[in-house]
Amino acid sequence: MTRDELIALMRVTAAQKPRAVETKEWGTVYVREVTVAEIDAQQADTDDGDNKNAIARGAARVICDEKGKALFDPKNEHDVALLASQPWSMLRAILKDITPAGN
């Protein structure tokens, strides 16, 4: 495979569509795949000693509308507080397939 071929394939995978997750409580919720940039941002948050609400901030990074536009801002304290107040079983149900292996 050439460099150009690999770059073309990477551009396709970077543009994946959000996945719909059906929930009893919230209806259809869309989530995007976690990107390397989002993992880096999450790691930077925790490296700075800000481990509080790390899961909520991570969820804010990937919950989106059907077109992939983020619905929550991981830097908005109200968005993060709302996500942090949700039952873990409900949030886990929509996030379960997007967590990188080993994390």
pLDDT, tens digit, for every residue of 44-90?
A: 777 666 568 888 998 999 999 999 999 999 999 999 999 999 999 99
1 is a domain residue = no
103 is a domain residue = no
Q: What's the domain range around 27? A: 18-95
Does pLDDT of 4 surpass 70?
Answer: yes
**Band of pLDDT at residue 96, cut at 50, 70 and 90:** confident
Q: Which residues have a Cβ under 8 Å from the Cβ of 74 and sit 6 or more positions away?
A: 41, 45, 57, 58, 60, 61, 80
Residue type, 93: A
- Greatest Cα pair distance, the chain, in angstroms, is 48
**Band of pLDDT at residue 10, cut at 50, 70 and 90:** very high
**Band of pLDDT at residue 97, cut at 50, 70 and 90:** low
Instruction: Please state the domain count of the chain.
Output: 1
7 is a domain residue = no
Closest CA to 40 of 53, 52, 58: 58
DSSP annotation of 23 reads E
